[in-house]
Structure 1
Amino acid sequence: METVKANSAFLCNFEVMQILQQLKDNTQKKHKREGSLATVTYETVRYLQETECKNQSAAGIQKCLEALKAFKLTKVEKLMMINSPPRTELDIQLMVEESEERLTEDEVKRIIEIMKECLPE
């Protein structure tokens, strides 16, 4: 397989988990795939089911991304926030480059509120 366009799209953990669960279900219905692929798929799904994405929904993620359009965040910063929703100001400082210069205190608080509304714990 050849990568035609690297980084043309990013997948959040929720999307990866859905794809792998479908792959896992399809391989169980048909015939057994190579052992290593089945093992990697199983282990990855098991890991993802222990992260924040187990409680997320496509609608919640879409609602969150719509609300985050009001802030000047990069795609990667939004992806990090979806994968590991910030619950404190420190979390946002770690995710957003130069957050003190790019975001006001009110904006930081609003982002935390958005995350709590759209992607509850």
Structure 2
Amino acid sequence: MEVVEKTHALLSNHEVLSHLRDIQNGTNDQRKPGRNQQNLATVCYSTVKFLEQTPAVSQSVEIIENFMQKIEPFNLTKAEKLQILNLRPTTQVEIQLLVEECEERLSEDDIEKLLQIVQTCLTTNDQESS
């Protein structure tokens, strides 16, 4: 997945992880941090190590696209979709915290359907066993 507009994009954790790995490896037209860019190298390393402990590591472009298609009927904002993708809410309360004016925009059935989509599209085998 390619970052189209580097200064104006909302990125998922998966996209950030992919981009930082490209920087670290010097792939996809990204330059590895040089000796005089030790701070950049440190930030990249620390962020990658953190994101490798999150569900972003098990996501793929296909999983994200499938998820985004399935939640389209809920008329969520880009930021709300991104938050749900990154945080993978498991309760109605979490959805209500992520969706602005949730009570007016989504019924209880809608929230349950949304939670079901999150569970079926975004839950990995590792998460199910823990």
- TM-score, structure 1 normalization: 0.86
- TM-score, structure 2 normalization: 0.81
Aligned residue for 2:18?
18
Aligned residue for 2:109?
106
**2:13–2:51 contact (8 Å) kept in structure 1:** yes
Aligned residue for 1:47?
50
Percent identity reads 39
Q: How does 1:60-75 map to 2 (within 5 A)?
A: 60-75=63-78
Q: How does 1:66-85 map to 2 (within 5 A)?
A: 66-85=69-88
1:110–1:47 CA distance, 2 compared to 1 (3 A): same
Tell me which of the two structures has the higher relative contact order, counting C-alpha pairs closer than 8 angstroms and 6 or more residues apart: 1
| Structure 2: gaps spanning 5 or more residues | none
Q: Name segments (4+ residues, structure 1) moved above 2 Å.
A: 4-7
More divergent stretch after superposition (46-55 vs 73-82): 46-55
1:107–1:36 CA distance, 2 compared to 1 (3 A): same
Aligned residues: 115
**2:23–2:33 contact (8 Å) kept in structure 1:** no
Task: Return the alpha-carbon distance in structure 1 between the equivalents of residues 24 and 32 of structure 2.
Answer: 11
What's the Cα RMSD here?
2.1
Deviation at 1:52, TM superposition (A): 2.0
Aligned residue for 1:94?
97
